[in-house]
Amino acid sequence: MCSNRPKRQQRGAALIVALVVVAIVAILSVTVSSDFLLMFRRVENQMYSEQAYAYLLGAEGVARVALLKDQKLAPDVDTLVEDWALPQKFPTDYGWIAGQLEDMQGRFNLNLLTKPPTAGETHSEQQRLLIRLLQALPLAEPLALDQAEALVDAISDWIDSDDTPSRLGGAESQYYADADPPGRPANRALKSPSELMWVKGMTPEIYRALAPFVTVWPQDPKAGSGININTAPAVVLRCINDKGSLEPLDPSTTEKILEQRKSRGEIDIGVYTENEVPSPDQSFVAVKSTYFQLTAQTEFQGRQYTLRSVILRDEKNIRVIARTFGEW
C-alpha cells in the first residue's frame, strides 16, 4: 500500500522554504526602503541647505551694498538712524528672509587691552573703560570696583604676551596650571569673546551679562578701533567717564546723552562735557565705524537657517572677514 506522507512532508518543507524566502525578501525590501528614504532625506537636506545658503549669501551682498552706499552718502559718521541699521524682512517663494546689521564698534573691543598702561598710570585708558563697563553690567548683584579691577587684570594677563602677572588680580601660567581643569593663558589677542570663560574670576553669570557688549577683532592700524558713541547702547556709553574716575557714568547722565542722541540724530564726544563730564576718556571713542556684523536668517521649505558675517569696511573696499552658517 502506497503512502502519501512523504509527498505531504515535501510540500510542507517547500512551504516553509517559501515562507522563509518571502520573509527574507520582505526584510530586504524594508531595509532597502529605509536606507533609500534616509539617503533621500540626506540629499534633500543638503539641497535645501545649499539653496538656503545661496539666499543668505544674497542677503550678505545686499548688506555690503548698503554699507557701501552709506559710505558715499555719510563718509564721516555712522548712526542708528541710517538705512543700514534698519532691520529688513522679505517673503520668498519658499518662506522668508531677514537681515540685521549691527555696528560692532558699538561694543567694547577686548583686544584693546593689548596696550599696557603708560608710565606712572595704574591702568591704561582701555582698562579703565572695561573696569567701568563691568560695574555697569545688568547683574542681580553689580560688581564692586575691586572685583572689576581684578577681572580686568586677569583678562589683560590672558591677552598680553608675557608670563608675569601685571597686578595682584592678574594670573599667568602658574595660576592656570593649578586650576581645575588645568590650562595655560592664551598670551595673544582673543579670537572670540567666549575665551573669557577660561579667565580667572569669570563666571557664567558675568559672561552672559558681558557678552552682548564686547567683541574682538584684530588691531589693524588702517581700520578704526574706537567705540562709536552714536551706536553704543547705554551700558557701553556708561564706560566713558572722566579720566580720573573708575566708576561708570551715572544712569541719569547716560539717559540725557541718549535723549540728545535721539533728538540730534548724532553726537560727538563734546556731549559728555555738555553733561558735566570734565575730561572723558576719548582716545578710543569714535563716531565712524569700520566693523559690522550681519545676522541673516531665512526659512526655507519649513527649515530655518542663519548666517553671521563680520564685514570690514575701510576707505578703499568692503569685505567679509569671518562667516558662520547653520540651522537654528
Per-residue pLDDT tens digits for 247-276: 999 999 999 999 999 999 899 999 999 999
Angle among Cα 300, 292, 127 to the nearest 5 degrees reads: 135
Angle among Cα 288, 293, 295 to the nearest 5 degrees reads: 140
Among 96-110, 170-184, 313-327, the range of highest mean pLDDT: 96-110
302 in the Ramachandran plot: left (φ > 0), alpha (ψ -120 to 50) or beta? left
**Do 193 and 211 touch, CB atoms closer than 8 A?**
yes
Least confident of 31-45, 78-92, 226-240, 290-304: 31-45
Residue 84: name the closest of 102, 66, 71 by CA.
Answer: 66
Q: 558715499: which residue's cell?
A: 72
Contacts of 241 (CB under 8 A, 6+ apart): 132, 247, 248, 249, 277, 280, 281
**Do 266 and 301 touch, CB atoms closer than 8 A?**
no
**Does residue 68 or residue 328 have the better pLDDT?**
68
| DSSP single-letter state for residue 217 | -
1, pLDDT greater than 60:
no
13, pLDDT greater than 80:
no
Q: Could you tell me the pLDDT band of residue 36, with boundaries at 50, 70 and 90?
A: low
**Do 163 and 187 touch, CB atoms closer than 8 A?**
yes
Global pTM exceeds 0.85: no
Contacts of 112 (CB under 8 A, 6+ apart): 126, 129, 219, 225, 284
Q: Counting beta carbons within 10 angstroms of the beta carbon of residue 237, is it exposed (0 to 12), middle (13 to 18) or buried (19 or more)?
A: buried
The whole-number pLDDT of residue 221 equals 46
Start-to-end Cα distance in the chain: 81
**Do 217 and 291 touch, CB atoms closer than 8 A?**
yes
- 91/171 Cα distance (integer angstroms): 52
Structural domains of the chain, ranges and CATH numbers in brackets: 14-103+290-327 (3.30.1300.30), 107-286 (1.10.40.60)
User: What mean pLDDT do residues 237-243 have?
Assistant: 95
User: Cell triple for residue 129?
Assistant: 573703560
**Do 83 and 289 touch, CB atoms closer than 8 A?**
no
60: amino acid identity, one letter: E
At 141-189, the pLDDT tens digits run 999 999 999 999 999 999 999 999 988 889 999 999 999 889 999 999 9
